[in-house]
């Protein structure tokens, strides 16, 4: 079935109406149409041209607004996600708060980029107890280092639940050692999201 000669899009239909109005002045006398018939036909097109021009003008404004909003959102999305991650890892956060704020993942699955574990450490004689939340991760990799060092060492791999104790004594027989810890979420075998905030305590025997 052949397609219609009338265009579908607003812009193309506006162009077609304007062209029709202009071209009928040249082609009308060949039909032959009188000057009045040509004028009447052009006049019948004017309301349509006005309405379609209004649509195209409005669409131009909307397109510009959409572009500006998209640019602004792209610029601020990382900061917005960080703020939402802070909410999701706050001590009192639960799914009820998440639902009220409408910040639960739409497909029911955890957004890997939003994962940030919550970690705390408590010093007890002979060990340090690590507590917290996985923040949507399946497991946690927990890293440690002596305070002042720059290199993290994987202390506990793919931990499914907290709390967990670190009772590893200091190297060299020291009785006190200040340690720092951070956790990174794991999905499957891959570390995802953002590391937890760094926490520290003094190991003592």
CATH number where 197 lies? 2.60.40.10
Best CA proximity match to 156, nearest among 139, 137, 177, 133: 139
Query: Residues 6 or more apart from 135 whose CB is under 8 A from it?
Result: 85, 88, 89, 115, 116, 117, 118, 185, 193, 196
Same domain, 125 and 66: no
Tokens (6 digits) for 6: 């009338």
Residue range of the domain that includes 167? 113-204
Strand order in the sheet with 127-133: 118-124, 127-133, 164-166
- What pLDDT, on a 0 to 100 scale, did the predictor assign at position 199? 95
Cβ–Cβ < 8 Å for 183, 132: yes
Q: What is the C-alpha radius of gyration for the chain, rounded to an integer number of angstroms?
A: 34
- What pLDDT, on a 0 to 100 scale, did the predictor assign at position 103? 84
Same domain, 119 and 198: yes
- What pLDDT, on a 0 to 100 scale, did the predictor assign at position 112? 83
The answer as to whether 200 is a domain residue is yes
Degrees (nearest 5) of the Cα angle 87, 89, 92?
Answer: 75
Which pLDDT tens digits describe the chain residue by residue (205 residues)?
Answer: 456 888 888 899 999 999 999 999 999 999 999 999 999 999 999 999 999 999 999 989 988 898 899 899 888 988 998 899 889 888 888 878 888 888 876 665 667 888 899 999 998 877 899 999 998 888 999 999 999 999 999 999 999 889 999 988 887 777 788 999 999 999 888 899 999 999 999 987 6
Cis peptide before 163 (omega within 30 of 0): yes
| Strand partners for 82 | none
* pTM of the complete model: 0.49
Look at the chain and report how many structural domains it folds into: 2
Same domain, 117 and 186: yes
Which of 77, 97, 126 is the C-terminal boundary of a domain? 77
Same domain, 135 and 199: yes
Cβ–Cβ < 8 Å for 180, 200: yes
Q: Whose structure tokens read 């579908």?
A: 8
Q: Helix, strand, coil: what percent of the chain each, to 5?
A: 40, 25, 35
Same domain, 127 and 177: yes
Cβ–Cβ < 8 Å for 101, 134: no
Separation CA 141–CA 187 (nearest Å): 10
Which of 27, 54, 77 is the C-terminal boundary of a domain? 77
Cβ–Cβ < 8 Å for 117, 183: yes
- What pLDDT, on a 0 to 100 scale, did the predictor assign at position 1? 44
């Amino acid at each position: 079935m052949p397609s219609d000669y009338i265009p579908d899009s607003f812009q193309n239909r506006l162009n077609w109406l304007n062209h029709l109005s202009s071209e009928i002045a040249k082609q009308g006398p060949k039909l032959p149409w009188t000057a009045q018939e040509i004028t009447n036909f052009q006049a019948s097109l004017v309301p349509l041209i006005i309405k379609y021009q209004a649509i195209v003008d409005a669409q131009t404004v909307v397109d510009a607004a959409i572009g500006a909003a998209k640019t602004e959102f792209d610029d601020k999305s990382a900061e917005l996600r960080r703020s939402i991650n802070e909410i999701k890892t706050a001590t009192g956060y639960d799914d009820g708060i998440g639902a009220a704020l409408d910040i639960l993942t739409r497909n029911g699955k955890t957004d890997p980029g939003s994962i940030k574990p919550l970690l705390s450490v408590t010093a007890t004689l002979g060990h340090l107890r690590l507590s917290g939340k996985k923040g949507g991760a399946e497991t946690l990799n927990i890293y440690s280092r002596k305070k002042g060092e720059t290199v993290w060492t994987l202390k506990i791999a793919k931990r499914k639940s907290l709390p967990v104790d670190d009772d590893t004594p200091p190297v060299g027989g020291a009785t006190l050692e200040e340690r720092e810890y951070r956790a990174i979420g794991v999905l499957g075998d891959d570390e995802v999201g953002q590391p937890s905030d760094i926490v520290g305590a003094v190991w003592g025997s």
